[in-house]
Amino acid sequence: MRTAPRRSRWTRALTSVVRACALLAAVSVAVFAVSDLLPSDAVAVRAGAGATAEQLDAMRAAAGLDAPAHERYARWLAGLVTGDAGTSLVNDRPVAVLVGARLPATLTLAGAALLVAVPLTAVLAWAAGAAPPRARSWTAGAVAGLAAVPQPAFVAGLVALFSVAWGVLPPVSLVRAGGSPLDEPTLLVLPSLALAVPIAAYGAGLLGGALADARALPHVRDAELRGVPRWRIATRHVAPFLLAPALRVLAVSAGALVAATAVVETMFGYQGLGELLVSAIATRDVPVVQAVALLASAVVVAGTAAADAAAALTEPVTA
Amino acid sequence: MRGSVGVAALVVLGLAVWGGALAPHDPSSTVAAPWLAPGGDHLLGTDAAGRDVWSRTLSGGRGIVLTSVLAAVAAGAAGTLGGLVAGWYGGWPDRLLSGTADLLLGVPLLLVALVLAVVLPAPAAVVAGAVCGGAPLTLRVVRDAVRRARRTGYVEAALGRGERTPVLLVREVLPGLAGVATADLGLRFVVALQLAAALGMLGLGAQPPAPDWGLMLRENLAGAALNPPALVAPAAALTVTALVAAAFARGTAERRTRLREPAP
Amino acid sequence: MNTPHTIPRPGALLLSAALLAVSACSGADPAAEPDAGGDTLRYAATGSPSTATHDPHGGVGNESDSLRFGLLYDVLAVPGDDGTTELRLAESVEPADEELVEWTITLRSDAVFSDGSPVRAADVLYSLRRIEDKAAENFGRLGMFDFAASEVVDDHTLTVVAHQPYAAAPRALEAVTFVVPEGTEDFSEPVPGSGPFLFAEGDAENAVLERNDDWWGPTPPLERVEISAVADPQARAQAVSSGQADVGSSVAPSSVAAAEEEGLQVVRRPAVTMYPFVMRLDTPPFDDPAVREAFRLAADRDQLVETVFLGYGQVGDDVIAPADPASPETEARERDVDRARELLADAGHGDGLEVVLHTTTSYPGMDTAATLYAEQLEEVGVDVEISMDPPDTYWTDVFAQEPFYTGFYGGIPFTDIATVALLSDAPTNETAWERPEWDAAFAEALSTADAQERDGILSELMLELRDEGGYVVWGTGDGIDLATDDVADLPDGPGFDKLFIDQVRLTG
């Protein structure tokens, strides 16, 4: 556990916010640059084989694709700031509308997954870091193993059990036209489990270590020797040391969860932002890829910064 | 017991890479009707295009595992190098490297790999994603280990005798890192395998009809009810490979020194 | 030690944001929601959600979009039974001159847009011109017309002018002529239409349509249609069997058996998919007619249809448009390995011949068709290397470029195929089929007013192409739709017929 002189706390909190802004700026340049290197652009994909070179050039000019890169970046950034993320190259619809239409579905799914993931992380972290010593090696191994399973394989396992073997839940979860995913909550069960379990195991692996560290602190040992009741040790002596790592783990898990929606939504045919990102990559729809990737990064970066700042403000001092 | 994990890891990796040689059918060709149930000539039945699932499972690990090994080595090498420099010299190189590592850790590696997959072929995107997401973790572990080593009396004494840095690094510091680095390599491999599986499943990796565990999950997911092994076999193959690698990393770490992902 | 008081928790924030969003979208009283059965049809259609569009005039790649346009907008005509043209918004389409160049279209007078304004000839001409302006995206769908020279006569009459005599004009105006109000330029949202349904809510990939009680045509039996774009065929099938949709269109043949077991309805639409092998006549070895004939004789058509379409299709005999009313009656083309070997030997390829066959995975079974055909070609002594090309670039880099590849046609009429791919000046003359006499005969057919006489000429042209051209048309696959058993009157005709579902009923 690091020592933190009191007066530097606010500085550290502020640093994490500044760093988040720098990171976001770097990510925006990277996202723009990468999408800019596409082998064939959306105009070619959209026009198909029938179009002549002149027609393609005209379409490119109309889409503003013929300007130099820095100009397009500046235009894009200015647009983002004013809430205009550009227009899809594939279907001419505003990117903000496309993203807005998908946002509720993904938020619902991510929310449901977090509802499962947070308590599950706590339970698994306890198993990996605080279970009775004899069992701990085994439980920690099991948690690490669960975290190692590739997510698509885990989804496949869920489908094989719940849909194929037992037939209780469908292998696809379509968001109903004009409805909300909550109209049929059973459709959310498999996708949210598919998101929550691997991430909870991963988070628990991280947190379990911190838990073991906190329990090994001298003052905790000391309290144990003095015969302080277990619940009191847990709440007064261990918990404060876990708060900061728990916040960071929560942020990391939430970030991984956002990224994992690409896999889980695609596998279940659930029409959210992750699925939009994947299909936009396939159609080379640069503005959509840029907007979704940047939005996801922003959520992750903001979460991490908030957790860092909060951790900096609350981390206990050990001399 | 621990040796047996190493042997199991070697066997699984070997099967994944060279198992294609045991395939009874051409894994990419239509050899029978679609979605045949297991039995007869087809141990695990056939998939949507009438290809032999057993042959595809045997052949489908090569690309994904080799890519993951490469990615793990690249991430481990980059992280170890950075960690050596940061831990040994401290000061501004440390701040620069650790700061960059922290920045990279701020973005989920799947997102990095996805965006990269737009411009790079999938294996390169997996390697790049695994390096961006894995090297920083290796860097932290190695950096801490080097700093500890540097503070030990014998290294300080050797420095006092005027021994050269590279000699010291190779003779005194690196041997102590071997265990950490091996275990770390296992963890990097697991992450790279997860990435490669995700990209394959999303259709950004191997293209049909090539056999690939990730791609097979995509192809056979919705039709799993028609022939469940078509879905379960590649999922099991991926899981076993990942578990063996994770167990190997864990075993190595426990034997040498306590290692886990640095607490966030 | 410092005791925490209030800590910002990003996870908690995210959670509450999610719950807010959730409660916002489920604000409607569940009891007021229409139920799944009854008068609402839920249709899971082919479509990649990311390419979903509100513009009916560009390159509409998604069936989910075309289907929606077919309900929201009126078209001049639709494909009728047995290949005839059934008029819709047009009351008549008649030639205005002897040459069949100028055509007079009279519109019905009772069509009204959803914004209350009447549908006028100016709206129709505006829409037709807009389709032509987007020729680069829609493969020159209406390229036979010169809309600059076309004009509005009065509110309900217009004349359209073809570039040259075009007897098939009424058919060319089928299905794709979605009419929007004159001057509409912003298609980022649905625009007013005069079709049997109105856009109620949702967006392009997940749309809710409600019956338009002011439509001029027969009242649609359904009150509501919900159309979702679902990319994976198996996912569409699963959507129906798990009760998330009433209709799943264009599913894979392999899911039919399971669907029948579950008591689902299976609707087959004939000759919807065709993956011909395309040989370029200007590139060796395909410049030799004997080689082309050998390649046609090498195909085991039954095996191809059985494997690629699982038998849900018809064996082809190299006629490029077998579902076209003008299609000639032909004898089945049997496989003849010996004759094929003999032809190849005579052509100087007795020691073997090496070719590269390109294919991709854009449509299910394209790859299977190529690999199987390659095996069949091996049996006549041709060494085939399969080049599996990425679907993203196949239609730009391989299609109409490579000398030997797997093509695709989706059940379009012969005249369209000819205009796009067979005339000497066709934009994508993929087989390099250049025959002035053939072009002349085609022009003659199109200036023949009598339908039977015209079909006779077209039929001859198809026969010539069949025997001497660069296509191996080994078979056609059925379009297969799954539906719950209370769905009635789903369209089962070829081509664009499937887009017009306004008279579908629910019996349950």
Question: Do C369 and C462 reside in the same domain of the chain?
Answer: yes
Query: What mean pLDDT is predicted for residues B23-31?
Result: 85
Residue C272 C-alpha, separation from nearest chain B C-alpha, in angstroms: 19
Q: Same domain, yes or no, for C301 and C211? A: no
Is the residue at C189 inside a domain? no
C12 pLDDT higher than 60: no
Chain B positions touching A304 (Cβ under 8 A) are 106
Q: Can you name the residues that pair with C92 across neighbouring β-strands?
A: C106
Per-residue pLDDT band at B263 (split at 50, 70, 90):
very low
B30 to C372: CB separation less than 8 angstroms, yes or no = yes
The residue out of C109, C138, C172 marking a domain boundary is C172
Chain B residue numbers with beta carbons less than 8 Å from the beta carbon of C252 are 48, 223
Q: Is C245 on the interface with A (CB under 8 A)?
A: yes
Query: Closest residue of B to C365, CA-based?
Result: B49
User: Under DSSP, is residue C483 helix (H, G, I), strand (E, B) or coil?
Assistant: strand
Name which residue leads in pLDDT, A153 or A178: A153
How close B41 comes to chain A (CA, Å)? 24
CB contact under 8 A, A310 and C9: yes
* Residue bearing tokens 């890192």: B177
Same domain for C66 and C213, yes or no, is yes
Question: For position A154, what pLDDT does the model report?
Answer: 96
Among the listed ranges A3-17, A214-228, C108-122, C380-394, which one has the minimum average pLDDT value?
A3-17
Structural element, H or E, at residue C90: strand C90-95
The pLDDT assigned to A5 comes to: 52
Looking at the structure, tell me whether residues C64 and C90 fall in a common domain: no
Nearest CB partner across the interface for A49, out of C49, C228, C395: C395
C158 forms beta bridges with: C105, C152
Can you tell me whether residue B225 is helix, strand or coil? coil
- At residue C112, what are phi and psi to the nearest 5 degrees? -135, 135
Give whole-number Cα distances, C145 to C77, C93, C418, C419, in Å: 16, 14, 15, 12
Q: How confident is the model at residue C13 (pLDDT cuts 50, 70, 90)?
A: very low
Q: Is the pLDDT of residue C22 over 70?
A: no
- What is the C-alpha separation between A216 and A197, in angstroms, rounded? 28
Residue C398 inside a domain? The answer is yes
Supply the DSSP string of C1-48, one letter for each residue. Answer: ---------HHHHHHHHHHHHHHHHT-S-GGGSPPSSTTEEEEEEE--
Q: Which of A58-62, C115-119, C251-255, C365-369 has the lowest mean pLDDT?
A: A58-62
pLDDT of residue C380: 92
Q: Chain A: residue nearest C25 by CA? A: A180
Please check whether residues C340 and C397 belong to one and the same domain. yes
Query: pLDDT averaged over chain A?
Result: 82
Q: List CB contacts (< 8 A) between C25 and chain A.
A: 104, 108, 180, 182
Name the residue facing A159 among B204, B218, B224 (closest C-beta). Answer: B224
Query: Given a cut of 60, is residue B223 above it in pLDDT?
Result: yes
Whether the predicted pLDDT of A310 surpasses 60: yes
Query: Looking at residue C109, what is its pLDDT?
Result: 92
Touching A: C residues 406-445, CB under 8 Å: 420, 427-428
Q: Do both C49 and C102 map to the same domain? A: no
Q: Which of A35, A281, A304 sits opposite B106 (nearest CB)?
A: A304
Q: Among partner residues C8, C25, C427, which is closest to A310 by beta-carbon distance? A: C8
**Average per-residue pLDDT for chain B:** 85
Binary contact (B225, C307; C-beta < 8 A): no
Neighbours, chain B (3 or more CB pairs < 8 A): A, C
Whether pLDDT at B169 is above 60: yes
Q: Do C371 and B28 touch (CB under 8 A)?
A: yes
Tell whether the model's pLDDT for residue C366 goes beyond 70: yes
Q: How confident is the model at residue B152, as a pLDDT?
A: 77
Q: For residues A153 and B217, is the Cβ–Cβ distance under 8 A?
A: yes
C364 CB neighbours in chain B (<8 A) are 48
Higher-confidence position of B219 and C292: C292
Confidence of residue A161 (pLDDT cuts 50, 70, 90): very high
Q: Do A303 and C11 touch (CB under 8 A)?
A: yes
CATH number of the structural domain spanning residue C201: 3.40.190.10
- Please give the share of chain A, as a percent, with pLDDT higher than 90: 18
Cβ of B49 within 8 Å of Cβ of C390? The answer is: no
pLDDT in tens, C271-284: 888 999 999 999 98
Total number of domains constituting chain C: 3
Query: pLDDT class for C200, splitting at 50, 70, 90?
Result: very high
Task: Give which of C242, C256, C366, C367 to mutate to test B binding, by max B Cβ within 10 Å.
Answer: C367
User: Per-residue pLDDT averaged across B230-237, rounded?
Assistant: 95
| Residue C290, in any domain of the structure | yes
Residue B8's closest CA among B210, B200, B250, B256? B250
Cβ-based contacts of C392 with chain A (< 8 Å): 40, 45, 282, 284
pLDDT of residue A147: 92
CB contacts < 8 Å between A and C, how many? 217
Position with higher pLDDT, C29 vs B178: B178
More confident residue, A72 or B94: B94
Cβ-defined contact of A23 to B247 (cutoff 8 Å): no
A114: three-class secondary structure by DSSP = helix
Helix (H) or strand (E) holding C206: strand C206-211
Rounded to the nearest angstrom, the minimum Cα separation between B23 and chain C is 18
Residue C34 has pLDDT above 60, yes or no: no
Domain assignment present for C215: yes
For residue B264, name the pLDDT band (cuts at 50, 70, 90): very low
For chain C, how many residues are written?
A: 508
Task: Give the Cα-Cα-Cα angle C16, C18, C22 (nearest 5 degrees).
Answer: 115
Q: Which residues of A touch C50 (CB under 8 A)?
A: 88, 90, 276, 279-280, 282-283, 285, 288
Q: How far is C262 from chain B (nearest CA, A)?
A: 12
Structural domain harbouring C134? 77-172
pTM to 2 decimal places: 0.80
Q: Which residue has the higher pLDDT, B29 or C306?
A: C306
**Lowest-confidence range among A75-79, A256-260, B195-199, C72-76?**
A75-79
Q: Are residues C281 and C396 in the same domain?
A: yes
Query: pLDDT, tens digit, for every residue of C392-417?
Result: 677 777 888 899 999 988 777 888 88
Instruction: Give dist(CA C89, CA C281) in Å, integer.
Output: 43
Q: What is the CATH classification number for the domain harbouring C161?
A: 3.90.76.10
- Position with higher pLDDT, A231 vs C266: C266
Contact B111 A289 (CB under 8 A): no
Whether residue A218 is preceded by a cis peptide bond, meaning omega within 30 degrees of 0, is no
Residue of B nearest to C232 (CA): B222
* B chain contacts of residue A282, beta-carbon cutoff 8 Å: 203-204
Which of C172, C207, C238 is at the close of a domain? C172
Give the pLDDT mean for A221-226.
84
* pLDDT score, position C323: 83
pLDDT for the residue numbered A319: 38
Clarify whether residues C291 and C432 are in a common domain. yes
Q: Which of C104, C126, C129 is nearest to C117 (CA)?
A: C126
Residue B209 has pLDDT above 60, yes or no: yes
Task: Provide, as residue numbers in chain C, all residues whose Cβ is less than 8 Å from the Cβ of B47.
Answer: none
Which of A180, A285, A306 lies nearest to residue C8, judging by beta carbons? A306
- Against chain A, the chains showing at least 3 CB pairs within 8 Å are B, C
**Does the distance separating the beta carbons of A243 and C10 come in below 8 Å?**
no
Is the separation of the CB atoms in A263 and B205 below 8 Å? no
Min mean pLDDT across A79-93, B102-116, B228-242, C277-291 is at A79-93
- Secondary structure of B22-72 in HEC code, one letter for each residue: HCCCCCCCCCCCCCCCCECCECCCECCCCCEHHHHHHHCCHHHHHHHHHHH
* pLDDT of amino acid C464: 94
Q: What is the reported pLDDT for B255?
A: 60
pLDDT at residue B235 greater than cutoff 90: yes
Residue C371 lies inside a defined structural domain of this protein: yes
Choose the mutation target among C13, C14, C232 for the interface with A, i.e. most A CBs under 10 Å: C14
Buried b (16+ CB within 10 A) or exposed e, A68-107: eeeebbeebeebbeeeebbbbbbbbbbbbbbbebbbbbbb
Residue A37: per-residue pLDDT: 67
* B38-75 pLDDT per residue, tens: 988 899 998 877 889 999 999 999 999 999 999 999 99
Q: Which of A1, A107, A265 has the highest number of chain C CBs within 10 A, making it the mutation to test binding with C? A: A107
Domain boundary among the residues C172, C203, C222 is at C172
Calculate the average pLDDT of chain C: 85
Confidence grade of residue A51 (pLDDT, cut at 50, 70, 90): low
Is the pLDDT at C388 greater than 90? The verdict is no
| Cβ separation C206–A314 shorter than 8 A | no
Interface contact flag, C367 B209, Cβ < 8 Å? yes
Rg (C-alpha) for chain C, rounded Å, is 25
pLDDT band, residue A4 (cuts 50/70/90) = very low
CB contact C194 to A (< 8 Å): no
Q: Which residues of B touch C367 (CB under 8 A)?
A: 49, 208-209
Domain membership flag for residue C333: yes
C280 lies in the same domain as C320? yes
Residue A102 has pLDDT above 80, yes or no: yes
Q: List C-alpha distances in Å: C123 to A298, B86, C82.
A: 45, 71, 30
CB within 8 Å of C69: residues ≥ 6 apart: C56, C60, C178, C499
**CA proximity to A316, closest of A100, A107, A9, A70:** A9
Interchain contact B37–C (C-beta under 8 A): no
C237 part of contact set with chain B, CB < 8 Å: yes
The pLDDT value recorded for residue C156 is 93
What percent of chain C has a predicted confidence (pLDDT) above 90?
47
The answer for C 322-361 residues in CB contact with A (under 8 A) is none
CB spacing of A284 vs B198 below 8 angstroms: no
Q: What's the complex ipTM?
A: 0.89
Lowest mean pLDDT: which of A156-170, B101-115, B233-247? B101-115
Q: Do A23 and B103 touch (CB under 8 A)?
A: yes
> Is C388 close to B209, i.e. CB distance below 8 A?
yes
Where residue A251 falls among pLDDT bands split at 50, 70, 90? confident
Identify the band that residue C14 occupies on the pLDDT scale cut at 50, 70 and 90.
very low
Q: List pLDDT tens digits, range A190-207.
A: 999 999 999 999 999 888
Residue of C nearest to B118 (CA): C392
Nearest neighbour of A250 by CB, restricted to C11, C206, C428: C11
Residue C289 to chain A, least CA–CA distance (Å): 27
CB contact under 8 A, C258 and B34: no
Work out how many CB contacts closer than 8 A connect A with B.
Answer: 176
Residue A301: predicted pLDDT: 84
Q: C143 and C282, same structural domain? A: no
Domain contains C184: no
Q: Same structural domain for residues C90 and C216?
A: no
- CATH number for the domain harbouring residue C285: 3.10.105.10
Indicate whether C279 belongs to any domain.
yes
**What is the reported pLDDT for A41?**
62
Asked if C230 and C301 sit in the same domain, the reply is no
